[in-house]
């Protein structure tokens, strides 16, 4: 039992220790300082020349957003087209079919927005061409988009008054060439050495020892999985995601996958500190995130190691914990850790099936996504946190008797309006989506085109857990997480299309909002600090931010959680 | 806007070349130099491929060490778990049934010694492992079916136990396929 | 005059406010406050539900009595919020009214065909009939009918009606002290005054309008806070609306009363109900400090001030310099020198001159006489003054360079030891006054500034607030530095001309700082306008008063410090009550959410951590708590949260502990207690 916990603790510590130097490196890359990978510069210059981009021209926040949205639109069109014709494209040894329009819509958006919700199964739903040429491509670029947006915001947080916030393309391309790609190669090599396949051959048919004939899906997995985690994307090569033995062969790869999905979100927090030369601020942010993360993690690890009380009543040996949906080579402890890590950051990859976790573990997973900023997704985690800081600064600024300011910039009505809209958006998308689906499920509506059969048919579990399945799906979509209570039948127009829209809104508005706020603040006059200025890098302020997150982001979901996981939990006891 | 569109298209094309051709080709190249050449570790018995070490197989026969229940029947053309919630009554009934079945097949085993992983499905449906305890509880049954002494079987299990990573991290486990191959070679 | 209404609620005010609470129920005025407006909508729905249950006898929505009680409590919530605003207005108005009483109708002697001199023809007009530009005449015993500027003459005036200060003040034409205020009384002499404001448009009138709400506009910070609160309200709209299908799925019918109660409890009604009261109370507190503010924003800005420009004289030092030592030149006997000094000063009625005679003492002065002497007045050109005695002695005293020129022009050497002494005096913060007789230097008198007792503590307090203090003085840099160090100001502007002040303010503002200053003269007007908070003294010129955004009726230069604290208090009160209001939600969730579902999901009894008696008592307790917390906090909203200059982090820690943690704990206790009481009746 305790040996398992040592693995969890060691993984976490290793991640933090790696994140600090990596954060320093990222800060240097984004600031354009000398780094070890400067030999990439000619390649980058070549890219810019071919694309007709002047990467030294500084952009305003509006221009950056236009560039970001334009290139995302192009990716969306590209992905949508390929998904719908993949059946006739090469590199499809298993002859998987083209996607239906609604599934293609959902999948294209899902990977475009770094969500990686998968309403298909990797083995049967996509070709190798799609896996590498569309999905993996989007995993690279969507992660880099988030980092580039964060870079614009970080640039805007400097102590000066300007509307020139660096070049979006420059940040974007360098994130790929100097951060994501090199790290992917390193991680891929580790995977290859641990038996992860990297082949273009299709399914293998074998006769097993016992004499059954089964097929074994394979593919270029080792290229795909590194960026899936480094980019906090989480979309699995196989249906079972990182629970699949080819996608996660052993405990070592499990640790590597855990570290690689969380090290960049953590490193970006440190990068912020190094970049702005405000290390204490970074430490404050990191501490708040870590405390939130640990609160969720510790209770989940305990619940999963204890096991399912219903099964305990059956009187069997429960010392491995809650093993439904989990793999023996990982065990309950690190699976619990994974489930929280993957939901607090927006990866959404799983090494065990979330649907079968204990009710309160499921709640913790959902809370991780509802809050969506304890570390958070690539770049966007800090952007979400930034919004909470703005609101906390506003309230606590008043509490020390000054009109609120953050990093020397006054926070006024306009910024407040944007911040509030972004804060509103997340509960709106989640609760309205869940309300819609529970309405249909409650009335068992015949769904026609939208779903074959009656609405309650999309639930694999009834009662409170069924409600949790729907709540989880929209929470995961809005948080751009991509994990799921996979028992939900989600490959149908209703779920594909509604979650598709939730994913788009849940991605781009929370990028546009913070970039706009930071851009507006950057244009304001810089006010130097005085003894009366609110200190934002203190533990007290950290507590305030935590309180704001708790009351706005977590408590707003309390009634919904009470009807789902909380009711389910107490019904077991 | 217009200039952004053309720049974006061209940038997309060069990035496609980098991320989707150069990078995977590079990884593929490295894979060639790894022990399994990127095909996954195949397990051969008498020169015949019987499976992949990483992919679990269905062992339901009494003469083999049985693995865990699988939601996909160990057919690795797909993968996935049961996705049953912890309070789902149907699910709990199936677990109860699995326990009873196990106890009938292994009458020497007390109910309190039935390891939970032998009655719960894995996440992938392809879990290649069980815990050593889950192997040990099957020893009396296999000893009886195969006529091999229990001590010998226990020694066999002990030989096939995969220890913790670096001796410290993670669970101890037994690969069912390899254990059963070894079992077939035991007289 | 000053803060005579120490009790927060006086019966007549309360009566007026109660009436206003109902008047303010008008949805058009409620709309300005989105939080309370949604409560009003909820209350209206509850009224319909209550009537429906009465008429139809349908029990699915709960009993008639239960619905009626919920409706009644919601209605009370609205009234309480309105009452908070109304009582704040009533207090502000009462304060303003007592100032306005000083301007009861008086007769004004309007000058017909104004010519210089006091040989006048006047007609009597009622003060309310006076128009801007009219000139009126006042002499000893007259009440000045309205605000104006003296255009001719000089008078001693009793301003106690406005400032509460009984010592009469001198006001005269031409200088920086040319303004007179309506309601004050002329004690001696006579003046001609030009009316500067139309009736009903004086600063006081404007302030009253501001308090009464007619011209009250939300300040930028208030707007931002309202947006925040509206946002929270919307979050809870979403939470409550979506709960309906959730409950349907869970087969848990929820009554409309429960929905609305949940909603009203969750939205920030506490701060929503008290927000405007806090703003009005801020202006009211300024008024109580005898400061008229021209906008609510000015008070808010005062809390943000980074830099404070203070005049040395009157603010940092007491009045004027005093002579402290006589330093005769070599070869001049001290007794002789003192005699010369006294002779030069006997006819000099400047404060410095008087202090020299004082220092010399009775013995030295008694025998001396300057009968028949010619006085030489100080002029900007000669920069020295003195006396020519009938005996032919020419005594002069003045600035070092002036006397030096005088003596050297006459061919006399300026003695070295005196020059050294001059330097030494300057570097000690004193002012050297060199004395010469017949163009020969005989010595130097040391004048020293007397720093007000307690002023350095006040500057220390400001420093801990994060406010930088800057002393403005006409002294030379050496003297200025000495006094600045001694008084504990952070910076100084020496040999200041009006444009230096202006430039300093601009420079600070370019660095993003907010600057406050106080001034009275016409030449201060541009700087007052430039400053973020410009406080004009009431005694100052009309131009100065127009340029600033506050007027201090007391003419007290240290008032700025108080104003900064009032501004901080205002912002802090908003912040702490917002925190309190939001923190309350934790307990309310735990009261209401289990109550909503327990009937159909008994497992959720475990979430009822307060062990409230029944779902209905739980909901009632929560809404009752939600309602009564508003009047309970009115005194705090009106008085303001106390500001302590302990540094921002310590202040945040303190307020977070009291209002954040308190906000979490208090409702748990409150709701439980109310539940115990409600259970008795249930």
Q: What is the pLDDT of residue C102?
A: 62
Q: Which two tokens stand for residue C506?
A: 């601009």
| Among B163, B160, B164, B152, residue whose Cα is nearest residue B177 | B160
Q: What is the pLDDT of residue C161?
A: 67
Q: What is the pLDDT of residue A542?
A: 94
Regions of chain B short of the pLDDT cut 50: none
Q: What is the pLDDT of residue A87?
A: 92
Across the A/B interface, how many CB contacts are shorter than 8 Å? 367
How far apart, in Å, are the Cα atoms of B110 and each of B103, B105, B115? 8, 12, 11
**Where does the pLDDT of residue C292 fall: very low under 50, low under 70, confident under 90, or very high at 90 and above?**
confident
Q: What is the pLDDT of residue C213?
A: 62
- Residue B114 near residue B124 (C-beta atoms within 8 A): no
**Rounded distance, CA C400 to CA C421, Å?**
11
**Rounded distance, CA A154 to CA A382, Å?**
10
State whether A329 and B36 contact (CB < 8 Å): no
How far apart, in Å, are the Cα atoms of A92 and each of A197, A236, C129? 17, 17, 96
CA distance C37 to chain A (A): 19
How far apart, in Å, are the Cα atoms of C462 and each of A409, B155, C308, C557? 22, 81, 9, 15
Higher per-residue pLDDT: C544 or B99: B99
CA distance A407 to chain C (A): 13
Q: What is the pLDDT of residue A50?
A: 94
Exposure letters B164-175 (e unless 16+ CB within 10 A, then b): bbeeebbbebbb
The residue count of chain B comes to 187
Q: Which two tokens stand for residue A269?
A: 């927090």
State whether B12 and A74 contact (CB < 8 Å): yes
Closest residue in chain C to residue A552, using alpha carbons only: C232
C433 φψ region: left (φ > 0), alpha (ψ -120 to 50), beta (else): beta
| Among C575, C522, C584, C526, residue whose Cα is nearest residue C266 | C584
**Rounded distance, CA A540 to CA A531, Å?**
16
Q: What is the pLDDT of residue C673?
A: 96
Write the pLDDT tens digit of every residue in A20-73. 999 999 999 999 999 999 999 999 999 999 999 999 999 999 999 999 999 999
- Residue A407 near residue A526 (C-beta atoms within 8 A): no
State whether A408 and C512 contact (CB < 8 Å): yes
Exposure letters A18-27 (e unless 16+ CB within 10 A, then b): bbbebbbbbb
**Rounded distance, CA B132 to CA A54, Å?**
62
Q: Residue for token digits 């209001």? A: C581
Least confident range from A258-267, C32-41, C461-470: namely C461-470
How far apart, in Å, are the Cα atoms of A119 and each of A72, C136, C434? 21, 88, 96
| Among A255, A191, A250, residue whose Cα is nearest residue A6 | A255
HSE at residue A455, side-chain half, CA atoms within 13 A, is: 19
**Where does the pLDDT of residue C165 fall: very low under 50, low under 70, confident under 90, or very high at 90 and above?**
low
| C344-350: long-range pairs with CB below 8 Å, 24+ | C344/C385, C344/C386, C344/C387, C344/C395, C344/C396, C344/C397, C344/C435, C345/C397, C346/C370, C346/C387, C347/C373, C347/C375, C347/C387, C348/C385, C350/C320, C350/C378
Classify C516 as helix, strand or coil: strand
State whether B127 and A255 contact (CB < 8 Å): no
- Residue A441 near residue C249 (C-beta atoms within 8 A): yes
State whether A314 and B95 contact (CB < 8 Å): yes
Write the pLDDT tens digit of every residue in A343-390. 999 899 999 999 999 999 999 999 999 999 999 888 889 999 999 999
| Secondary element (H or E) of residue C627 | helix C615-639
**Rounded distance, CA A237 to CA B25, Å?**
17
Give A292's contacts (C-beta < 8 A, 6+ positions apart).
Answer: A344, A371, A374, A546, A549
CB atoms within 10 A of CB A548: 23
Q: Is the pLDDT of residue C1 over 80?
A: no
Classify C498 as helix, strand or coil: helix
**Rounded distance, CA A199 to CA A214, Å?**
19
**Where does the pLDDT of residue A497 fall: very low under 50, low under 70, confident under 90, or very high at 90 and above?**
very high
Residue A568, judged by CB atoms within 10 A of its CB (0-12, 13-18, 19+), counts as buried
Q: Is the pLDDT of residue C6 over 60?
A: no
Higher per-residue pLDDT: C520 or A129: A129
Q: Is the pLDDT of residue C214 over 60?
A: no
Q: What is the pLDDT of residue B181?
A: 95
Closest residue in chain C to residue A557, using alpha carbons only: C239
How far apart, in Å, are the Cα atoms of C103 and each of A298, B67, C92, C310, C514? 72, 98, 17, 32, 35
Q: What is the pLDDT of residue C3?
A: 41
Average pLDDT, chain A: 93
Task: Find chain A residues with C-beta within 8 A of C656's C-beta.
Answer: 396, 399, 540, 543-544
**Average pLDDT of the segment spanning C610-621:** 92
Q: What is the pLDDT of residue C211?
A: 66
**Where does the pLDDT of residue C216 fall: very low under 50, low under 70, confident under 90, or very high at 90 and above?**
low
CB of A541 within 8 Å of any CB in chain C?
Answer: yes
Residue boundaries of the structural domains of chain B: 1-39, 41-184
**Average pLDDT of the segment spanning A107-125:** 93
**Rounded distance, CA C366 to CA A398, Å?**
64
Q: Which two tokens stand for residue A502?
A: 């939730």
| C484-492: long-range pairs with CB below 8 Å, 24+ | C486/C429, C486/C451, C486/C456, C487/C316, C487/C317, C487/C451, C487/C455, C487/C456, C487/C459, C488/C455, C488/C456, C488/C459, C488/C460, C488/C463, C489/C310, C489/C316, C489/C459, C490/C459, C490/C463, C492/C312
What's the N-to-C CA distance of chain C in angstroms? 52
* Chain A: partners with 3+ C-beta pairs within 8 Å: B, C
CB atoms within 10 A of CB C287: 25
**Where does the pLDDT of residue C241 fall: very low under 50, low under 70, confident under 90, or very high at 90 and above?**
very high
Classify A226 as helix, strand or coil: helix
Catalytic residue among C142, C147, C311, C449: C311
CA distance A115 to chain B (A): 19
HSE at residue C141, side-chain half, CA atoms within 13 A, is: 0
- Residue A555 near residue A342 (C-beta atoms within 8 A): no
**Where does the pLDDT of residue C2 fall: very low under 50, low under 70, confident under 90, or very high at 90 and above?**
very low
**pTM higher than 0.95:** no
Dihedral angle over CA of C362, C368, C371, C377, nearest 10? -70
Write the pLDDT tens digit of every residue in C31-41. 888 999 999 99
**Rounded distance, CA B123 to CA A242, Å?**
9
Exposure letters C27-43 (e unless 16+ CB within 10 A, then b): eeebeebbbbbbbbebb
Q: What is the pLDDT of residue C4?
A: 44
How far apart, in Å, are the Cα atoms of B93 and each of A143, A573, B55, B97, B98? 44, 18, 28, 6, 9
Closest residue in chain C to residue A396, using alpha carbons only: C575
| Among A281, A326, A277, residue whose Cα is nearest residue A27 | A277
Helix orientation angle between C64-100 and C269-288, rounded to the nearest 10 degrees: 10
**Where does the pLDDT of residue C555 fall: very low under 50, low under 70, confident under 90, or very high at 90 and above?**
confident
Interface mutation target, options A359, A389, A400, chain C, most CBs of C under 10 Å: A400
**Average pLDDT of the segment spanning A511-518:** 96
CA distance A260 to chain B (A): 17
**Average pLDDT of the segment spanning C262-267:** 92
Average pLDDT, chain C: 84
**Rounded distance, CA B17 to CA C37, Å?**
58
Higher per-residue pLDDT: A391 or C143: A391
Least confident range from A236-245, A406-415, C134-143: namely C134-143
Query: What is the torsional sign of CA C243, C244, C248, C253?
Result: positive
Q: Does residue C438 have an active-site annotation?
A: no
- Residue C443 near residue C329 (C-beta atoms within 8 A): yes
Least confident range from A366-370, A464-468, C144-148: namely C144-148
The complex's ipTM? 0.95
CB atoms within 10 A of CB C424: 14
Q: Say which of B9, B85, B111 has its CB closest to residue A316.
A: B111
Q: What is the pLDDT of residue C369?
A: 76
What is the maximum span of chain A, computed from C-alpha positions, in angstroms? Answer: 78
**Average pLDDT of the segment spanning C118-146:** 82
Q: Is the pLDDT of residue C421 over 60?
A: yes
Exposure letters A393-413 (e unless 16+ CB within 10 A, then b): bbbbbbbbbbbbbbbbbbbbb
């Amino acid at each position: 039992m305790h040996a398992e916990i040592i693995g969890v603790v060691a993984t976490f510590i290793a991640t933090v220790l790696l994140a600090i130097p990596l954060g320093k490196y990222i800060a240097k890359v984004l600031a354009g300082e000398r780094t070890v990978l400067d030999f990439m510069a000619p390649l980058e210059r070549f890219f810019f020349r071919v694309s007709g981009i002047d990467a030294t021209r500084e952009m305003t926040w509006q221009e950056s957003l236009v560039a970001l949205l334009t290139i995302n639109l192009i990716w969306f069109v590209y992905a949508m087209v390929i998904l719908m014709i993949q059946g006739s494209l090469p590199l499809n040894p298993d002859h998987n079919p083209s996607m239906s329009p609604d599934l293609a819509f959902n999948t294209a958006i899902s990977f475009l927005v770094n969500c990686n919700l998968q309403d298909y199964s990797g083995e049967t739903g996509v070709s190798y061409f799609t896996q590498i040429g569309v999905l993996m491509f989007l995993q690279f670029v969507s992660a880099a988009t988030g980092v580039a947006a964060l870079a614009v915001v970080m640039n805007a947080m400097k102590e000066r008054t300007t509307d020139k916030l660096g070049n979006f393309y420059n940040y974007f391309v360098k994130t790929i060439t100097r951060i994501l790609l090199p790290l992917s190669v390193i991680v891929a090599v580790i995977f290859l050495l641990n038996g992860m396949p990297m082949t273009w051959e299709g399914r293998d048919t074998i006769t097993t020892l016992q004499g059954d004939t089964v097929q074994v899906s394979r593919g270029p997995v080792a290229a795909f999985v590194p960026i899936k985690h480094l980019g906090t994307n989480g979309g699995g090569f196989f249906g079972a995601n990182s629970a699949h033995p080819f996608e996660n062969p052993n405990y070592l790869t499990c640790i590597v996958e855990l570290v690689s999905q969380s090290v960049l979100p953590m490193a970006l927090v440190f990068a912020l500190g190094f970049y702005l030369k405000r290390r204490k601020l970074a430490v404050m942010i990191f501490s708040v995130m870590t405390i939130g993360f640990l609160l969720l993690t510790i209770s989940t690890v305990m619940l999963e190691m204890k096991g399912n009380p219903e099964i305990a009543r059956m009187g069997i040996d429960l010392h491995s914990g809650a093993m439904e949906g989990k793999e023996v080579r990982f065990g309950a402890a690190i699976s619990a850790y994974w489930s929280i890590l993957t939901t607090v950051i927006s990866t959404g990859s799983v090494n065990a099936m979330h649907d079968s976790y204990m009710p309160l573990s499921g709640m913790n997973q959902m809370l991780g996504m509802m809050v969506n900023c304890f570390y958070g997704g690539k770049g966007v985690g800090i952007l979400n946190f930034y919004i909470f800081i703005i609101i906390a600064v506003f309230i606590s600024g008043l509490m020390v008797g000054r009109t609120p300011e953050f990093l020397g910039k006054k926070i006024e009505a306009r910024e407040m309006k944007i911040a509030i809209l972004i804060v509103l958006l997340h509960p709106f998308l989640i609760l309205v989506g869940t309300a819609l689906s529970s309405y249909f499920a409650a009335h068992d509506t015949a769904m026609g085109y939208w779903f074959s059969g009656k609405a309650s048919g999309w639930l694999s579990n009834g009662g409170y857990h069924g409600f949790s399945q729907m709540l989880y799906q929209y929470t995961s979509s809005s948080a751009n997480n991509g994990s799921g209570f996979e028992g939900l039948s989600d490959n149908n127009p209703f779920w594909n299309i509604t979650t598709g829209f939730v994913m788009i809104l849940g991605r781009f508005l929370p990028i546009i909002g913070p970039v706009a706020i930071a851009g507006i603040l950057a244009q304001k006059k810089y006010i130097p600090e005085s003894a009366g200025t609110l200190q934002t890098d203190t533990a007290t302020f950290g507590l305030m931010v935590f309180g704001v997150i708790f009351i706005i982001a977590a408590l707003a979901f309390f009634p919904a959680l009470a009807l789902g996981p909380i009711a389910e939990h107490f019904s077991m006891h | 806007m217009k200039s952004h569109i053309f720049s974006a298209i061209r940038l997309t094309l060069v990035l496609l070349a980098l991320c989707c051709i150069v990078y995977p080709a590079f990884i593929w190249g490295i894979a060639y130099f790894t022990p399994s050449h990127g095909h996954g570790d195949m397990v051969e018995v008498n020169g015949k491929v019987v499976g992949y070490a990483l992919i679990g197989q269905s062992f339901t026969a009494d003469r083999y060490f049985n693995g865990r229940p699988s939601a996909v029947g160990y057919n690795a053309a797909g993968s996935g778990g049961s996705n049953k919630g912890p309070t789902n009554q149907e699910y709990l009934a199936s677990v109860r049934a699995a326990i009873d079945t196990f106890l009938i097949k292994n009458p020497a085993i007390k109910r309190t010694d039935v390891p939970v992983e032998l009655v719960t499905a894995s996440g992938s449906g392809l879990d290649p492992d069980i815990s050593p305890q889950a192997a040990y509880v099957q020893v009396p049954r296999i000893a009886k079916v195969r006529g091999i002494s229990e001590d010998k079987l226990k020694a066999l299990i002990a030989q096939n136990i995969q220890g913790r990573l670096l001796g410290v991290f993670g669970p101890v486990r037994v690969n069912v396929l390899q254990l059963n191959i070894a079992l077939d070679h035991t007289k | 005059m000053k803060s005579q209404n120490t009790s927060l609620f006086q019966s007549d005010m309360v009566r007026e406010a109660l009436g206003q609470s109902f008047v303010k129920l008008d949805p058009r005025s409620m709309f300005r406050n989105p939080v309370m407006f949604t409560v009003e909508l909820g209350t209206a729905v509850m009224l319909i539900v209550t009537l429906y249950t009465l008429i139809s006898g349908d029990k699915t929505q709960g009993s008639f009595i239960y619905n009626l009680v919920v409706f009644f409590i919601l209605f009370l919530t609205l009234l309480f919020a309105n009452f908070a605003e109304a009582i704040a207005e009533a207090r502000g108005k009462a304060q303003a009214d007592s100032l306005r009483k000083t301007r009861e109708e008086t007769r004004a002697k309007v000058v017909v065909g104004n010519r210089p001199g006091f040989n006048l023809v006047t007609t009597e007009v009622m003060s309310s009939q006076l128009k801007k530009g009219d000139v009126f005449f006042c002499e000893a015993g007259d009440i000045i009918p309205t605000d104006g500027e003296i255009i001719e003459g000089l008078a001693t005036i009793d301003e106690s009606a406005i400032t509460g200060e009984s010592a009469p003040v001198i006001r005269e034409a031409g200088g920086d002290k040319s303004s007179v205020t309506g309601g004050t009384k002329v004690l001696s002499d006579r003046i001609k005054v030009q009316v500067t404001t139309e009736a009903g448009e004086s600063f006081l009138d404007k302030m009253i309008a501001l308090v009464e709400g007619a011209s009250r506009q939300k300040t930028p910070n208030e707007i931002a806070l309202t947006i925040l609160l509206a946002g929270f309200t919307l979050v809870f709209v979403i939470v409550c609306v979506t709960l309906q299908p959730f409950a349907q799925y869970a087969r848990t019918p929820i009554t409309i009363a429960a929905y609305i109660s949940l909603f009203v409890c969750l939205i920030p009604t506490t701060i929503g109900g008290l927000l405007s009261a806090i703003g009005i109370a801020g202006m009211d507190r300024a008024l109580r400090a005898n400061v008229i503010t021209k906008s609510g924003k000015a008070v808010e800005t005062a809390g943000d001030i980074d830099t404070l420009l203070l005049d040395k004289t009157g603010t940092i030092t007491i009045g004027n310099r005093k002579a402290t030592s006589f330093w005769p030149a070599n070869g001049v006997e001290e007794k002789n020198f003192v005699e010369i000094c006294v002779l030069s000063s006997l006819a000099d009625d400047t404060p410095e001159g008087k202090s020299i005679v004082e220092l010399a003492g009775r013995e030295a002065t008694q025998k001396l006489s300057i009968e028949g002497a010619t006085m030489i007045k100080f002029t900007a050109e000669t920069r020295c003054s003195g006396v020519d005695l009938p005996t032919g002695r020419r005594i002069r005293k003045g600035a070092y360079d002036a006397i030096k020129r005088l003596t050297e022009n006459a061919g006399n050497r300026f003695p070295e030891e005196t020059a050294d002494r001059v330097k030494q005096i300057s570097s000690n913060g004193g002012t050297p006054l060199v004395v010469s007789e017949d163009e020969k230097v005989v010595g130097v008198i040391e004048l020293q500034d007397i720093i007000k007792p307690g002023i350095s503590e006040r500057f220390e307090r400001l420093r801990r607030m994060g406010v930088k203090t800057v002393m403005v003085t006409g002294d030379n840099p050496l003297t200025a530095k000495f006094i600045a160090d001694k008084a504990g100001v952070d910076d100084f502007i020496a040999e200041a001309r009006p444009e230096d002040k202006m430039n300093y303010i601009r420079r600070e503002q370019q660095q993003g700082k907010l600057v406050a200053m106080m001034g009275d003269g016409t030449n201060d007007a541009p700087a007052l306008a430039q400053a973020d908070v410009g406080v004009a003294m009431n005694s100052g010129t009309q131009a100065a008063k127009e340029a600033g955004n506050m007027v201090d009726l007391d003419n007290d230069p240290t008032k700025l410090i108080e104003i900064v604290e009032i501004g901080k208090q205002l912002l802090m009160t908003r912040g702490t009550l917002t925190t309190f209001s939001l923190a309350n939600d934790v307990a309310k969730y735990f009261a209401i959410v289990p109550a909503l579902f327990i009937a159909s999901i008994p497992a959720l009894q475990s979430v009822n951590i307060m062990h409230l008696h029944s779902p209905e008592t739980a909901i009632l307790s929560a809404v009752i708590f939600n309602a009564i917390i508003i009047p309970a906090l009115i005194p705090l909203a009106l008085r303001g949260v106390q500001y302590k200059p302990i540094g921002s982090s310590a202040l945040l820690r303190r307020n977070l502990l009291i209002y954040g943690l308190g906000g979490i704990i208090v409702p748990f206790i409150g709701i439980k207690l109310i539940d115990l009481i409600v259970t008795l009746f249930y």
